[in-house]
Each structure stands twice: as structure tokens, then as C-alpha cells.
Amino acid sequence: MKIGLFDSGIGGTTILNTIKTILPNEEYQYIADSKNCPYGEKSDQELQNIVTRNVEALKNWGAKIIVIACNTATTRCISYLRSQYPDIHFVGTEPAIKLATNTNAQNILVMATPGTIESERLQTLLEENQKSNQTITLLACPGLADLIEQNYQSNNLAPIANYLKQLFKNLDTKPDVIVLGCTHYSLIKNQIQSFFRTIQLIDGNSGVAARVKELVQK
């Protein structure tokens, strides 16, 4: 089965790797669209044009399943893509709000791009899943995905550490769980964890991989 994936760069490789561990024998094509990074700071119209180009390229390659390995593109564009390409199975990546609210955490912190934080889909996920005893703090991280894109592969981690230090210094309460609502942030799990040693970091990668496996088996 031909499975296509795209993201604004290297973030979605964390999803690709998770899928490959449970589906090692499929054919994969991954678009690392770094020239358009960051997606999280683009308008709906700009994003729709960008994701359409990616989907066209993957469709021409023969993809039957396309994984949107990006929370921003999923929360902002998956409905649009499904309406434009009814023959393709799209699997989206969403902030793992459901997983986080199903733990007994009371303080949940959601880190994501400004585009994801402002999306209607995120509001719906909160309305559907938040429990009455839970506080969920939404933390937009403008520029962080781009910083990871520019520095992660050359192992230049200092700018990322400085960014995180500034970001977390203004938090009022220590979270019990952090949702990594951008695939780029999964790459820097260890760095984020070093600020909050004992707390759980959650991303949606395993859920995406499980959904792809289900579709392949069908």
C-alpha cells in the first residue's frame, strides 16, 4: 500500500517512524515542506494552497492513504481536503486532548502552534473531553517549530533551550500532563521533559499509527 505523509518539515518524521514500526512493509513517501515552514503562522487560504500542492504531489505518486503529519494542517484543513479529494483516505494528527483528559491529571498544558491554538477544532476537542475538575491551559508557541526546523538536525539545541526557558517561566501552575500539540515538539521531548522532570508528555503519534494500520488492514 502506498502511504503518503507531509508536514512543514521534519516534525512529521516522528509519525512516519511510529507508523513504520507497526507497518514495516508498506511504501512511504514523505514531504518535508520546510520551505513553507511555519504552517502555524499562515492564513487559512495560504494553508489550503500549500496542503493542496502536497496532496497533489502525493496523489500523483499513487498514495491511497495520506497522513497529515501536522496538527496545524489537520485542525485547519482536513475537512477541506476530505471535501476536495473524496477518493483519498486522510488520517489527521490532532492534539491528544482525549488521551490527556482520560488520565487523572487536573492541570493540563497544551503546547501548539498559534494556528492550532486558534482553530475551531481545538475548541471542539476541549468541549468534548474536558472534565469538570480539570484546568486546561493553552500555550501558543510562535516560532518554536521554525526554531526546531532550523536547529535540530545540526544539533544546535541552545536556541531551543532558551526559547523554552522564556516560555515556561511565566506559567502560573505546574502542569500534571503536557500535550505536545505539534509534531515538531515530539523531537524535543527530552528537552521539554528536563523542565518538568516527573510529568507525563503526551503526543498523538501512536493513535495516528493505529488508525493507519486499521485502514491498511481494511
List, by residue number, the catalytic residues.
Answer: 70, 182
Say which residues have a Cβ less than 8 Å from residue 111's Cβ, sequence separation at least 6. Answer: 139, 141, 144, 178, 179, 180, 181, 182, 185, 192
- Counting contacts by CB under 6 A, is residue 38 touching ligand DGL? yes
- Counting contacts by CB under 6 A, is residue 182 touching ligand DGL? yes
| CA 183 – CA 27 distance, rounded (Å) | 21
Residues 110-139 as x/- pattern, contact with ligand DGL by CB under 6 A: ---x--x-----------------------
- Counting contacts by CB under 6 A, is residue 11 touching ligand DGL? yes
Candidates 8, 14, 18, 134; binder of ligand DGL (CB under 6 A) is 8
The 3-state DSSP class for residue 178 equals strand
Q: Which is nearer to ligand DGL, 72 or 101 (CB)?
A: 72
- Per the CB < 8 A criterion, the answer to whether 89 and 66 are in contact is yes
- Of 24-32, 51-59, 177-185, 205-213, the segment contacting ligand DGL by CB under 6 A is 177-185
144-170: b (≥16 Cβ within 10 Å) or e: bbbbbbbbbeeeeeeebeebbeebbee
> Which of 29, 2, 187, 172 has its CA nearest to residue 88?
2
Shortest approach of ligand DGL to residue 118 CB, angstroms? 12
Q: Which is nearer to ligand DGL, 37 or 91 (CB)?
A: 37
> Which of 101, 81, 102, 98 has its CA nearest to residue 90?
81
The size of the interface with ligand DGL (CB under 6 A), counted in residues, is 16
Binding footprint of ligand DGL on the chain (CB under 6 A): 7-8, 11, 37-40, 70-72, 113, 116, 145, 182-184
